[in-house]
Chains A and B, each alone.
Chain A
Amino acid sequence: MHLYEVIKRPVITEKSMGLVDWENQYVFEVDLRANKLQVKEAVETAFDVDVVKVNLMVMPVKTSMRGRTSRVRRSKWKKAVVTLAPGSSIQLFEGV
């Protein structure tokens, strides 16, 4: 898996913005197959920062019932919470 396939998008929500402020942690959606090492390498390469820690979690699939069959509303996805070394930051989240 190529390094550039790992990170899919930054997760920008009230909570993730909070994490940036409080913990110097940045949240991304990453490929389901990616592991912590791959995420770490991808982030370090893409944003030129030092990554201290990567936490991964698979977000549950969101389904809805349509009659008796269930439909997938949002597939499961992998979320990565990346902790950067103090002093590093990713501009993407702060806009300009």
Chain B
Amino acid sequence: MTLTVTTEPLENRQMALNVAVDDARVEKHLRRAARKLARDYRIPGFRKGKAPYQIVVQYFGEQALYNEILDDLGQEIYREALEQAEVEPYGQASLADVDFNPLTYRLIVPLEPTVDLGDYRNVRVAEEETAINEDLVDQELEKYREEYAGWQEVGRPVQYEDAVNIDVKSVIAATDDADEIVVLDEEDWDITPSEEAPMEPAGFDEQLVGMEAGDEKEFDLSWAEDSRSIYAGKTAHYTVKVNRVEAYEKPELDDDFAQLVGPDYATLDDLREDIRSSLREQAEGNARDAYVGRALDAILEQATLEYPPTVVEDQIDAMVREYGSQLRQYGIEDLENFFEQTGQDMDEYREGLREQAEIAARRNLILSELLAKEYIRVDDEDLDARVAEILGDELADAIEELALEEAVAEDLVAGEEALEEAVADELAEEELAVEEAVADALTAEELALEEAVADELITEDPAVAEAVAEDLIAEELAVEAAAADELAAEELALEEAVAQELATEEDALEEATAAELAAELAEELDALSAQRDSMRDFFRYGQGRMLLESEILQRKTLDRLLAIVRGEDVPALDELKAAAEAAGAETESADEDESDASDAEAVVAEIVEAGAETDAAGDQEAAAEAGDEEESS
């Protein structure tokens, strides 16, 4: 062995390792470093990489060589020293001190925290009732009222701060040396009488107050002698008619108001109930968080914790990261830059987090110990249930959407069909009418011709002609009528055929389109279910499993914690252990334990972060706000 390691336990689950490195080993590394240096730098008189060791040492100095090897050698030595000392580090060790000649490292290694939960199973914490203060409900209602408040016409006399619409005429009567002056002559004049800042001349506002819509009033007012108005010292005669009085009013709290807020609320009580339940939900969430916090604190109080400082530091790191990702949502990418700009000091900020981080870290330790002690495991049933829950929601949404699309498509097809038929019918009818008209016109013409011929004949030879003519007329008439009928029928048939053809053609087209659409939708549905399958696989076998497992573990742990402190019936530890072992034997996987352990850590980190978030939310928000303000200013 080239290392001499002595261990020295420190406080707070830390271990100091004094590692002395064998000279030969150091020498080997030094020579290697010298070769590297010679390769990288030109030493006068030598080609690159050709300078001998002594020359390199002379040229760069021994310290430079040591610096070169410290990092690489340090890594090696760290690993070997841990192995040799049989120490399991919990986190990254820190280098406390380095000595040369002989090379000695002093490493401070954090050890795994020890958690003794004590008699945690007998810890009881009273749960506080969550009561909904009706005042809060009223406050919420009031907020809604303010939201819907607006200028409303009111049927009462004018008060200060109302919006009053008036017609006003103000005239200063003519005197010996001045003509009549019209000061005001307005209609539809909107003014707001104010007690604090009255209009000139003094008293005008006062005169308005008390008038009702439709009232007319005449009065005289004078400007003060020292007024800055051009009418200073003069008196005017006012004629005022009030048209409308409006006040900024909140709507009445009644059923109509509830419907204004949302069409789902039939009555005011519905709205009130909804507000109450959402408030209760919120309050219960908060109460649960607080309860969990108190439960953890109670267990903490009688538990014994020993942990290295890195635990807290890591927690602070996590919190800072969290803060950073919060800021990223405001579009601030670089945390350090942000701190610089807002004049905050990173170190100070970290110190500020320390207390909070300490609490979070301690709670975390408790939770992870609880997780292990209580044999909390995730089995496939839990997993499947959760997967079904997640996928169920998504699939249902997607299918609903698809169904909607199909309906729309069908509607579309039907609509087009109806339209086409109507058009075809209309076309047919129109053509028919035209044809008939043509046929009629033809018949009439022929008839007229025949009659004319007949008339002529008659005048020539009335007797003979008449007979002939009549015959002729009848004959011609018959022929004409037949021809016209035939024509009309023919045309009709043609038209109908065309119309029908058109209709069937369109029908076919529509059907094809519909079929295509349906096929498309089916394809989409297929793709969707394939996606669902792949997602299920992701959650069951892929990375998603870890996510879900940690989520479920977290939930189960908190449930167990609450069950304990509430004093509910919790299975005895022996039973739990037996059950866990049985389950473990079933799955027959040796690495189960290991993965559980890492999962547990992840879960704990998550829980703590969540806890820290609620704790820190106020502070961080405040900080973020402060930052925003400063930025905007």
Residues of A at the B interface (CB closer than 8 Å) are 11-14, 16-17, 94-96
Provide a sorted-by-A list of 12 A–B residue pairs whose CB atoms are within 8 angstroms: A11-B45, A12-B45, A13-B44, A13-B46, A14-B46, A14-B50, A17-B52, A17-B55, A94-B54, A95-B54, A95-B55, A96-B54
Is the pair B45, A13 in contact by a Cβ cutoff of 8 Å? yes
Name the 6 nearest CB pairs between A and B, nearest first.
A95-B54, A13-B45, A14-B46, A14-B50, A12-B45, A95-B58
Chain A positions within 8 Å of B46 at CB level: 13-14
Chain A positions within 8 Å of B45 at CB level: 11-14, 16
Is the pair A95, B51 in contact by a Cβ cutoff of 8 Å? no
Query: Of A11, A12, A95, which one neighbours B57 at CB under 8 angstroms?
Result: A95
Q: How far is the CB of A53 from chain B (nearest CB, A)?
A: 23
A13 to B44 alpha-carbon distance, docked (Å): 7
A17 to B23 alpha-carbon distance, docked (Å): 27
B407-454 CB contacts (< 8 Å) to partner A? none
Q: How far is the CB of B37 from chain A (nearest CB, A)?
A: 15
A79 to B155 alpha-carbon distance, docked (Å): 120
Shortest Cβ distance from A95 into B: residue = B54
Q: Does B47 contact A (CB under 8 A)?
A: yes
Chain B interface, number of residues (Cβ within 8 angstroms): 11
B29-79 CB contacts (< 8 Å) to partner A? 44-47, 50-52, 54-55, 57-58
A11 to B45 alpha-carbon distance, docked (Å): 9
Shortest Cβ distance from A21 into B: residue = B52
Given contacts A13-B45, A94-B54, 18 further A-B contacts (CB under 8 A): A11-B45, A12-B45, A12-B55, A13-B44, A13-B46, A14-B45, A14-B46, A14-B47, A14-B50, A14-B51, A16-B45, A17-B52, A17-B55, A95-B54, A95-B55, A95-B57, A95-B58, A96-B54
Chain A positions within 8 Å of B54 at CB level: 94-96
Residues of B at the A interface (CB closer than 8 Å) are 44-47, 50-52, 54-55, 57-58
Q: How far is the CB of A12 from chain B (nearest CB, A)?
A: 6
A14 to B44 alpha-carbon distance, docked (Å): 9
Q: How far is the CB of B618 from chain A (nearest CB, A)?
A: 66
Chain B positions within 8 Å of A14 at CB level: 45-47, 50-51
Chain B positions within 8 Å of A13 at CB level: 44-46
Q: How far is the CB of A10 from chain B (nearest CB, A)?
A: 11
Chain B positions within 8 Å of A96 at CB level: 54
Chain B positions within 8 Å of A17 at CB level: 52, 55
Chain B positions within 8 Å of A11 at CB level: 45
Chain A positions within 8 Å of B57 at CB level: 95
Shortest Cβ distance from A94 into B: residue = B54
Q: How far is the CB of A21 from chain B (nearest CB, A)?
A: 9
Chain A positions within 8 Å of B52 at CB level: 17
Q: How far is the CB of B313 from chain A (nearest CB, A)?
A: 45
Q: How far is the CB of A31 from chain B (nearest CB, A)?
A: 21
Chain A positions within 8 Å of B47 at CB level: 14
A28 to B355 alpha-carbon distance, docked (Å): 70
Shortest Cβ distance from A17 into B: residue = B52
Chain A positions within 8 Å of B50 at CB level: 14
Shortest Cβ distance from B57 into A: residue = A95
Chain A positions within 8 Å of B44 at CB level: 13
A79 to B50 alpha-carbon distance, docked (Å): 22
Most buried by B among A11, A12, A94, A96: A12
Shortest Cβ distance from A96 into B: residue = B54
Q: How far is the CB of A61 from chain B (nearest CB, A)?
A: 19
Shortest Cβ distance from A16 into B: residue = B45
Shortest Cβ distance from A12 into B: residue = B45
A13 to B58 alpha-carbon distance, docked (Å): 13
A37 to B154 alpha-carbon distance, docked (Å): 129
Shortest Cβ distance from B45 into A: residue = A13
Q: How far is the CB of B50 from chain A (nearest CB, A)?
A: 5
Q: How far is the CB of A7 from chain B (nearest CB, A)?
A: 18
Q: How far is the CB of B206 from chain A (nearest CB, A)?
A: 101
Most buried by B among A11, A16, A95, A96: A95
A18 to B58 alpha-carbon distance, docked (Å): 18
A17 to B55 alpha-carbon distance, docked (Å): 10
A95 to B60 alpha-carbon distance, docked (Å): 13
Chain A positions within 8 Å of B58 at CB level: 95
A16 to B597 alpha-carbon distance, docked (Å): 65
A17 to B45 alpha-carbon distance, docked (Å): 10
Shortest Cβ distance from B59 into A: residue = A12
Q: How far is the CB of B522 from chain A (nearest CB, A)?
A: 81
Shortest Cβ distance from A93 into B: residue = B54
A13 to B43 alpha-carbon distance, docked (Å): 9
A16 to B55 alpha-carbon distance, docked (Å): 12
Shortest Cβ distance from A13 into B: residue = B45
Shortest Cβ distance from B56 into A: residue = A95
Q: How far is the CB of A37 from chain B (nearest CB, A)?
A: 28
Q: How far is the CB of B471 from chain A (nearest CB, A)?
A: 140
Chain B positions within 8 Å of A95 at CB level: 54-55, 57-58
Shortest Cβ distance from B58 into A: residue = A95
Chain A positions within 8 Å of B55 at CB level: 12, 17, 95
A11 to B46 alpha-carbon distance, docked (Å): 11
Q: How far is the CB of A32 from chain B (nearest CB, A)?
A: 21
A71 to B52 alpha-carbon distance, docked (Å): 34
A85 to B45 alpha-carbon distance, docked (Å): 26
